[in-house]
Structure 1
Amino acid sequence: MALSTKVGNTSQTETAPEVRLPQASPMYSATGLDVWTMMNQVAASVGAVNLGQGFMSYPPKDFIRQAAQDALVENTHNQYAPPRGRPGLLEQVAVRFSERLGRDIDSGSEVSVHAGANEALLSVFTAFLEHGQDHEVILMEPAFDQYTPNVAMAGGIPVYVPLRVRDGCDAATHDISSDDWRLDMAELEAAITPKTRIIVLNTPHNPIGKVFTRDELALIGAVAECHNLLIVADEVYEHLTFGRNHVSIATLPRMWERTVTVGSAGKLFGVTGWRVGWAVGPAALIRPTLAAHTRIVFTSNTPLQEGVASALRQAAHNGFFTIQCEEYLRRRNRLIAIFADIGLPCVVPDGAYYLLVNASAVRARIPTDYAFPDFITERGANFKLVYFFIKEFGVSGIPPTEFYSDAHKDLANDYIRFAFCKTEEGLEAAAERLQTLKQFLRGPAQA
């Protein structure tokens, strides 16, 4: 901008200095709208039945809510909790994992409480990765979308190894099992370099619903042992399996010493907004994890830690986890039946509460001149499929390519992820909306 000034009898023009503003890190300044907000906004624009994001559309059981209410009125629960966690919750997590892992867990050294499982994961990555060292972390795709930024924030480099549908499965025309998605061990081995430090293992798996078998875990564990890698076991859905037993990799021989297992009260009790999670492992691994946690958030919500501790004590005796699993199984089966009636095949999950639906028949019939907004077009074919599905049929899902690196997105282009942690009324409303899809699928595919 030019400014006019007068010196003596002479007028001259000066140029104002250029205004410079602080610039954000490229990691955050280049970040677009997150997939959850984006698809929720699309769903809201047409009043869609929301089967997208994995939050519960029904309240938690009365005893869980009452546990939180009782904790809130206790005067000693209003100040900072110890960074490691409230003693009552540490004790209850230790009791639960002692039973699950078949070993005595020391609540004072082998457990830490976190602000949700996501912060527990970030704390582990922060503790075991070093900025400037190009340390690598193996992520099995599809990988929950928080893994990649958490690894990057801790200074690590994500390396992606995809799960693939086994040969002989025609997922476009028939239902397949989540167990039909397999990890190629040769591909895993090839991804490991001298800079690899961590393998992230998610079982039961989001979004596939795969529950890794003991034999599969043993192979992964052997690779970790051979290369001296830390295993970060994301087991937030450990309580939700359907006809298949969940096995913690930490129970396998020589795996406890190199595994941090992460859990979540939000997933365990259907209270995702409480943001209470934990990490369990040998003291040598929990100690640096706790040190990182102390610098990231210092401590977690005091009254809700007490609420979770009370809920865990009660759930051990009132049959809650068995009842909850039966309820989820009914919801899973109902949603599968809805898509079977329409004619779209699914990946039948053995665990968690997501259903991958193969919508390649829908994608083949999207009009070539369909008007997609730029924010959808720039995210690729799978986002276009999900956008079209929400807009035209009034039921929202999530594009699973969000859980893939660019190199492997094509593995998920035909799928939509739906969550069945929803009310029966919500599922029936979805079934009614999706009846219009039957007629659409009778139409010709686009050239």
Structure 2
Amino acid sequence: MSADPFRPAKRVAGQRQDVWSIVNEAALASPVQPIVNMGQGFFGYNPPPFVTDAAKAALDRVDCNQYAPTKGRPRLKKAIVEAYGPFFSTETPLDPDKNVTITTGANEGMLSAFMAFIEPGDEVVIFEPFFDQYISNIEMAGGVIKYCSMLPPAHGSERTSSAADWKIDWEGLEATLEKAGSKVRMIVLNSPHNPVGKVLSKSELERVGELAIKHNLIILSDEVYDRLYYVPFTRIAALSPQLWERTLTVGSGGKVFYATGWRVGWLIGPEHLIKHVSAAHTRICYSSVSPLQEAVAIGFEEADKHNFWDESKKEMESKLHRFCSVFDELKLPYSIPEGGYFVLANLAKVKLPKDYKFPDHVANRPRDFKLCWFLIMELGIAAIPPTEFYTDENAHIVEDYLRFAVCKEDDVLEQAKERLRGLLQYMA
């Protein structure tokens, strides 16, 4: 008999409290209510009516309330091919049945990709800062993570600059790939980037592509913010047929249509990769939410008629300008996003009271966790500490930053700005 039949698996045992529960618990305990939530990246408003109306109509259809085909509803796959086909460098047109698989959100799609290709001991390269779910997804597949830094500008605590000034450590990346040799099977990209807001330039993507070809790597390109870019945006799978053949591109209906709770995602790629992702997806959750797939399909069909993509970008860029004006006012530097809806602000000028009492699970974390806790408790505004997206060894790089999500109603942004003005009394 097992000495401890209730012993958890190592992949979940011993994990320290995650940032999301820390922030939520602090928000509930804060004496300043209601909390202005600029932390987690969910929208503060509904999807456009042409999308929500489609969801309501789908609920009245028998076929939409039953299992969807495991690879996705045909209408959605066709809509994705029509929406994304022109963007990729393929020798033949995209085929809805061969080049697309629908997943339960982009996150499950990425897990399916790792489960499809990563075996115990295989290595996966990701960039710091990283979306935290990458870590657990890779480790659950038995993969070993190799980190490469994306470094903030040296003047980040002194003046505002573009998110483009966060630079990939190319020497470190090349050294990692040379050292690992054949053990590395995949490299993960994220553009537009969470949390930095950087859009990888064409030249940066070309350099990554050259390394991927040289080392025979699969590229997993997380492009869930692909409709929110404010500078030229390039897809790595669009650069050449050779890169298309080794790239899985990840997308999200929740991100593009303001419906993060719908959990409709997809992967696009060559048939020799997609078929294995589809097989893994089938074993993880079989199929994804059927009526909401239909609504996302209609969303793509109708978006251009409503000029939705251009209006969406204009609206989000306006929110970024509206919110970031408070950092200009306070003379707190930040990274101007090139895409997405997150802003990294540098709060090195904010001096926390020396005798301030933090709970143990915050006191032993980097400074940004303390800043986060302090803002919630004293000002009633929630943000996310970006060291959560770093290894412990490199957390010091961003411990003066906080991440703010601007995908909120304008009145909420104004409330957030008013509360942030309370930082003046704590600034040198």
Match of residue 435 from structure 1: 421
From 1, 22, 25, give the equivalent of 2:6: 22
Partners of 1:43 and 1:49 within 8 A in 2: no
Deviation at 1:102, TM superposition (A): 5.3
Q: 1:94 aligned to 2:78?
A: no
From 219, 229, 247, give the equivalent of 1:231: 219
Larger Rg: 1
Aligned residues: percent identity? 42
Q: Which whole-Å CA distance do the structure 1 matches of 2:412 and 2:25 have between them?
A: 18
Q: Which whole-Å CA distance do the structure 2 matches of 1:211 and 1:18 have between them?
A: 51
Change (3 A) 1:19 1:124: closer
Between 1:246-255 and 1:258-267, the stretch displaced more is 246-255
Match of residue 11 from structure 1: none
Match of residue 182 from structure 1: 167
From 14, 18, 22, give the equivalent of 1:38: 22
Which stretches of structure 1, 4 residues or longer, exceed 4 Å deviation after superposition?
A: 17-21
2:410 aligned partner, one-letter code: E
Q: Which whole-Å CA distance do the structure 1 matches of 2:298 and 2:271 have between them?
A: 25
Match of residue 402 from structure 2: 416
Partners of 1:394 and 1:434 within 8 A in 2: no
Using the size of structure 1 for normalisation, the TM-score is 0.91
CA distances 1:70-91 after superposition (whole Å, capped 9, x unpaired)? 1111111111111110000000
Match of residue 110 from structure 1: 99
Q: How is 1:349-364 mapped onto 2 (pairs within 5 angstroms)? A: 349-362=337-350
1:49 aligned partner, one-letter code: V
1:179 aligned partner, one-letter code: A
CA distances 1:112-158 after superposition (whole Å, capped 9, x unpaired)? 00000000000000001112xx1110010100000011000011011
Q: Which whole-Å CA distance do the structure 2 matches of 1:282 and 1:435 have between them?
A: 51
Deviation at 1:40, TM superposition (A): 2.1
1:61 aligned partner, one-letter code: P
Partners of 2:326 and 2:421 within 8 A in 1: no
From 229, 246, 251, give the equivalent of 1:241: 229
Query: 5+ residue gaps in structure 2?
Result: none
SS at match of 1:26: coil
SS at match of 1:434: helix
CA RMSD of aligned residues (A): 1.5
Q: Which whole-Å CA distance do the structure 2 matches of 1:19 and 1:248 have between them?
A: 52
Match of residue 383 from structure 1: 369
Match of residue 202 from structure 1: 190
Deviation at 1:175, TM superposition (A): 0.2
Between 1:36-45 and 1:80-89, the stretch displaced more is 36-45
SS at match of 2:266: strand
Q: 1:345 aligned to 2:333?
A: yes
Deviation at 1:435, TM superposition (A): 2.1
From 307, 310, 313, give the equivalent of 1:319: 307
Match of residue 156 from structure 1: 143
From 120, 139, 148, give the equivalent of 2:126: 139
Q: Which whole-Å CA distance do the structure 1 matches of 2:215 and 2:244 have between them?
A: 16
Q: 1:65 aligned to 2:52?
A: yes
1:413 aligned partner, one-letter code: E
Deviation at 1:369, TM superposition (A): 1.8
Q: Which whole-Å CA distance do the structure 1 matches of 2:131 and 2:86 have between them?
A: 27
SS at match of 2:97: coil
CA distances 1:323-364 after superposition (whole Å, capped 9, x unpaired)? 1111101100011101111221111000000000000111xx
- Number of positions where the alignment pairs a residue of Structure 1 with one of Structure 2: 419
